[in-house]
Chain A
């Protein structure tokens, strides 16, 4: 078990030429925390992860991993720190078993322990049946699993995972999320970088949102949820003009005409219910009402300014406790 902070990054900055990739980013993660790192593509998440793993030199700031100061790119990654950035890569002409054995050797594991560790982790990660096949023949999902295996080989107390489920099938993604939870339950700190709000929301209790190289939110998911705007719904009625007029007299409900011919309604659940009832009482038929974006996602889009949403905002990610189902509730 780790004492103190698992990760303490203060004022991390990085500049590529005239472009500021990171500007004074702070990131603090405690043992046992599953911390989400969220941001649209190009926000600086991957650069930050690379800096934290010693792959990229920072221009400013200090980084402490499990209490050890990270000496930019010269020093080794401290024992107990592991992870991968983007798609993990391995030597394609070697088998998974051989790749892991070589990495274990780089980690300084004794020869007698190496083989047992590798076998155990391959079994655990579900790659044992394919362990002796050259990695060149692996699918992207298998490589991602192997990346996780390589990280687990270091018995991590601080684990950095960058889009770890991006190439996995739903079952594999569920397994990886369960594994991350188990590690966190055992006291490890896990930094889970993603641009998928739903995944981070499901998995992490705390998160940091980065946009254009700056932290724009850091705290508990619940705090973010409190800031979340009302959910947005598309509404089709028998008389849109009257529906708009009715909304203008109801506080807490914002309705505007949308380009697709529907009305866009922004309101919390109670406000929306009351508005729909009022529409019925006014003789205005509700022909369709469907969720457009989930509340946290809409906040994410709002605070990152990515209306085009490089983050996943599609309805299939919706979870019952946070948003209404994507299908029309009235039709």
Chain B
């Protein structure tokens, strides 16, 4: 695989992606959603008190991105990461374009890498857009007041902003793991509905399994656990163990899913 070939394949995939309405809608929703949430918090009297930092949402603008993060970790990330990852391979089956793409001067490895890179970039873009938008919404709609962390310590605005940024950064690895899961589903099923739906169902099942009593070892092997690892970054002193563990688990999911998906793509007959 040559860097030039990878760049060409990724550039083509990105061009196709930005031409699609769904990608623009998802990114627009990531930008607009937090503002709608912050505005709703501002005008209504009740707050989401059963959510981490929910009580502080009208007192500090830095609580808004953390509430959004808690909600997104449960419902949004598996969906947003699957929308592109779960469709990027199976769309070629749907349109019948594998024969067009694979008869050019690029290897299957380059095409695979270009698609995976695009899916990961889109997942990053969605997470970053949601993060920036929720910080902006919190600061503009609520204000830059100091934030009380989970240990009850008051964090000044600059320190709160750093913690919020670290918390959002910590969900990138599991978001990538779900993207890889979606890629695998997309390659294996060659069906976009399954490619998008299966990781979402898997994410939901993983979330539910953490709510019931079960072996802790199994819970720790799920990438959804990493979505909650940021809690340790908002305590005094901060603990990074769950974040590190979640990153390793997510990395394993990423590597295994992509390796299996690549092997499947390499061995698949197109239209045969």
A binds B: yes
| Shortest Cβ gap from B24 to chain A (Å) | 12
Contact (Cβ within 8 A) B16 A54: no
Within A27-59, the residues touching B (CB, 8 Å) are 47, 50, 53-57
Please tell me if B157 contacts chain A, counting CB pairs below 8 Å: no
Mark the stretch among B92-100, B162-170, B207-215 that contacts chain A. Answer: B92-100
Give the residue of B95, B103, B267, B271 whose beta carbon is less than 8 angstroms from that of A77. Answer: B103
Given contacts A55-B269, A93-B19, contact A108 B95 (CB under 8 A): no
B108 partner residues in chain A, CB cutoff 8 A: 73-74
Please tell me if B45 contacts chain A, counting CB pairs below 8 Å: no
Contact (Cβ within 8 A) A105 B95: no
Give the residue of B4, B100, B110 whose beta carbon is less than 8 angstroms from that of A103. Answer: B100
Contact (Cβ within 8 A) A86 B271: yes
Contact (Cβ within 8 A) A73 B103: no
Judged by DSSP, the binding face of A is loop
Contact (Cβ within 8 A) A53 B103: yes
Contact (Cβ within 8 A) A53 B99: yes
Contact (Cβ within 8 A) B9 A94: no
Please tell me if B44 contacts chain A, counting CB pairs below 8 Å: no
| Shortest Cβ gap from A85 to chain B (Å) | 6
Contact (Cβ within 8 A) A76 B104: yes
Please tell me if A83 contacts chain B, counting CB pairs below 8 Å: yes
Give the contact-size bracket for chain B.
20 to 34
Please tell me if B33 contacts chain A, counting CB pairs below 8 Å: no
Query: Contact residues of B with A, CB < 8 Å?
Result: 4-5, 8-9, 11-12, 15-16, 19-20, 95-110, 266-272
Judged by DSSP, the binding face of B is helix
Contact (Cβ within 8 A) B101 A56: no
Please tell me if A137 contacts chain B, counting CB pairs below 8 Å: no
A98 partner residues in chain B, CB cutoff 8 A: 15, 19
| Shortest Cβ gap from B39 to chain A (Å) | 34
Please tell me if A316 contacts chain B, counting CB pairs below 8 Å: no
Can you list 6 A-B contacts (CB < 8 A)? A73-B269, A76-B110, A84-B99, A105-B12, A105-B15, A108-B5
A85 partner residues in chain B, CB cutoff 8 A: 99, 271
| Shortest Cβ gap from B82 to chain A (Å) | 20
Ranked nearest first, the 7 interchain pairs of A and B with the lowest CB-CB distance are: A89-B96, A55-B270, A106-B104, A56-B272, A56-B269, A107-B105, A102-B12
Task: Give CA–CA (A105, B7) in the complex, Å.
Answer: 10
B4 partner residues in chain A, CB cutoff 8 A: 108
Contact (Cβ within 8 A) B97 A91: yes
Closest residue of B by beta carbon distance from A162: B99
| Shortest Cβ gap from B119 to chain A (Å) | 17
Give the residue of A84, A93, A105 whose beta carbon is less than 8 angstroms from that of B100. Answer: A84
* Most B C-beta atoms less than 10 A away, residue of A55, A90, A94: A55
Given contacts A16-B272, A50-B271, contact A106 B9 (CB under 8 A): yes
Contact (Cβ within 8 A) B271 A55: yes
Task: Give CA–CA (A56, B108) in the complex, Å.
Answer: 12
| Shortest Cβ gap from B238 to chain A (Å) | 46
| Shortest Cβ gap from B56 to chain A (Å) | 44
Contact mask for chain A residues 69-110; partner B; CB cutoff 8 A; 1 contact, 0 none: 000011111010111111111111110001000110111100
A55 partner residues in chain B, CB cutoff 8 A: 98-99, 102-103, 269-272
Task: Give CA–CA (A77, B105) in the complex, Å.
Answer: 6
Contact (Cβ within 8 A) A106 B269: no
Contact (Cβ within 8 A) A47 B272: yes
Please tell me if A313 contacts chain B, counting CB pairs below 8 Å: no
* Most A C-beta atoms less than 10 A away, residue of B99, B103, B268: B103
Given contacts A53-B102, A54-B103, 9 further A-B contacts (CB under 8 A): A50-B99, A57-B269, A73-B270, A85-B99, A89-B99, A98-B19, A103-B100, A105-B8, A106-B105
A14 partner residues in chain B, CB cutoff 8 A: 272
Within A264-301, the residues touching B (CB, 8 Å) are none
Contact (Cβ within 8 A) B105 A108: yes
Closest residue of B by beta carbon distance from A102: B12
| Shortest Cβ gap from A232 to chain B (Å) | 37
Please tell me if A161 contacts chain B, counting CB pairs below 8 Å: no
Give the residue of A75, A86, A93 whose beta carbon is less than 8 angstroms from that of B20. Answer: A93
Give the residue of B20, B95, B268 whose beta carbon is less than 8 angstroms from that of A89. Answer: B95
Given contacts A89-B96, A106-B105, contact A94 B270 (CB under 8 A): no
Closest residue of B by beta carbon distance from A79: B105
Contact (Cβ within 8 A) B106 A106: yes
Given contacts A73-B108, A105-B11, contact A150 B100 (CB under 8 A): yes
Task: Give CA–CA (A47, B268) in the complex, Å.
Answer: 14
Contact (Cβ within 8 A) A56 B100: no
Contact (Cβ within 8 A) B8 A89: no
Contact (Cβ within 8 A) A73 B266: yes
Contact mask for chain A residues 135-167; partner B; CB cutoff 8 A; 1 contact, 0 none: 000000000000100100010000000000000
Task: Give CA–CA (A54, B266) in the complex, Å.
Answer: 11
Task: Give CA–CA (A106, B15) in the complex, Å.
Answer: 12
Task: Give CA–CA (A47, B4) in the complex, Å.
Answer: 31
Contact (Cβ within 8 A) A91 B269: no
Give the residue of B107, B266, B270 whose beta carbon is less than 8 angstroms from that of A56. Answer: B270
Task: Give CA–CA (A86, B4) in the complex, Å.
Answer: 30
| Shortest Cβ gap from A152 to chain B (Å) | 13
Task: Give CA–CA (A98, B15) in the complex, Å.
Answer: 9
| Shortest Cβ gap from A20 to chain B (Å) | 14
